[in-house]
Amino acid sequence: MRNLRVLCALALLAGATALQAQTSNPPTNDPAITALSVMGVVSELKPDAHQVIVTTAAGSQVTVTLSDRTVYMRIPPGEKTKDKFIKIAPTDFATGDSVFARGRMSDDRKSMPALEFYVMSKGDIAEKKERERSEWSKRGIAGTVSAVNAETKEITVDARTPEGPKPIVVATTGDTKFRRYAPDSVRFSDAQPGSFADLKAGDQLRALGTKSADGGRFTPEEIVTGSFQTISGTITEIDAEKKEIKIKDLQSQQPVTIAVTKDSSMRKLTPEMVAALSAPAKGGGDLQEMFDQLPAFTLAELKAGDSIVISSTKGTDTARVTAIAVVSGVGPLLQNKQAARATAVSLGAMSLGGP
């Protein structure tokens, strides 16, 4: 049973990223904290007291006390069996490393003496992510689903290329793994197991696999999809404390509340990007690269009356969305229907991130 608990935690550890400490109003029922364990990131070391502060993904903090009884193990990237774990010294970890500690949690869920301390270093995580990015870049495709054939289990995708969108048939097999973005979540780690039946026209799709010699067909090993939306409007109110933006939706003319999280990307359009979006035929690959290089901005730089475009998942509440991306400086584009549509299409296509 103990091994099972450890192994169940590994999948989450593998996708962990270095988190900043978030001490304001942490949840009382954090799923990363149990009666016998805590899972999170090392946010502070207290060597004199033989203690480590572990911060969970939800922002809760637990003081983990280490002793001569503590067993220290490093988890190599991708490994899931304990016989592949590596014994390490009590000093062989650092702030930013992901950890899974076992012991007996205090009643207030704020402290725990550790009997076992499993570490995945931030360097190993970064290398693993880079390998995955490289793999998906070399053997992956991304685009918008234009048709779904339930009989043949094939998906037609308008794939993004530097020359513009090109149709490609994605022929799924019984071995294809499906994942789908969760409603109201912008985190890839929250993507849930899915199926072919989840797919529909208009979804954003990213697939890893093998392309045919002529480039017209694709055999996927894994498919990740999501249902996204792009809305635009004028800011009516900003609540910096709640990290919320209220706008009047340009299309529906209804008020919408935009929740901004630490995962939301906030970028400001440059004149060059405005020109690129005004000429959408140039292609999606160039636009994505340009978007990644746009200057970032903060919530404090926005004001009532500004025009913005927001990309989000399609959640259960149309009056409230969680932003994947917030783009400012879009006023000139929203006055041009063709450019506004190009902005929406480009932003929507950029919403689905890879692993």
Q: Which of 67, 69, 9 is nearest to 40 (CA)?
A: 9
Cα–Cα distances in angstroms (integers) from residue 18 to residues 13, 30, 69, 114, 158, in the given order: 11, 18, 27, 21, 35
In angstroms, the Cα distances linking 255 to 229, 232, 243, 245, 320 are: 16, 11, 16, 10, 9
Separation CA 329–CA 165 (nearest Å): 26
Instruction: Please give the chain's pLDDT, 355 residues, in tens.
Output: 444 344 444 433 433 333 333 333 444 578 899 999 999 999 999 999 999 999 998 889 999 999 999 999 998 877 778 888 999 999 999 999 999 999 999 999 999 999 999 998 888 878 888 888 888 888 999 888 999 999 999 999 988 776 767 899 999 999 999 999 877 666 666 788 999 999 999 888 989 999 999 989 999 999 999 888 888 899 999 999 999 999 999 888 999 999 998 878 888 888 877 776 666 544 444 455 566 678 989 999 999 999 998 888 877 788 999 888 898 988 877 766 655 555 555 555 555 555 5
pLDDT score at 301:
92
First and final C-alpha spacing in the chain? 30
Number of domains composing the chain: 3
Segments forming the whole domain that contains residue 63? 2-120
CATH number of the domain to which 42 belongs = 2.40.50.140
- Residues 220 and 135 reside in one and the same domain: yes
Cβ pair 16, 97 in contact under 8 A: no
| CATH for 252 | 2.40.50.320
355 domain residue, yes or no:
no
Residues 250 and 301 in one domain: yes
Q: End of a domain among 57, 91, 120? A: 120
Pairing of β 71-74 and β 111-120: parallel
| pLDDT at site 290 | 64
Together in a domain, 248 and 262? yes
User: Could you write out the three-class secondary structure of 242-271?
Assistant: CCEEEEEECCCCCEEEEECCCCCEEEECCH
Against a cut of 0.75, is the pTM above it? no
pLDDT value of residue 171: 96
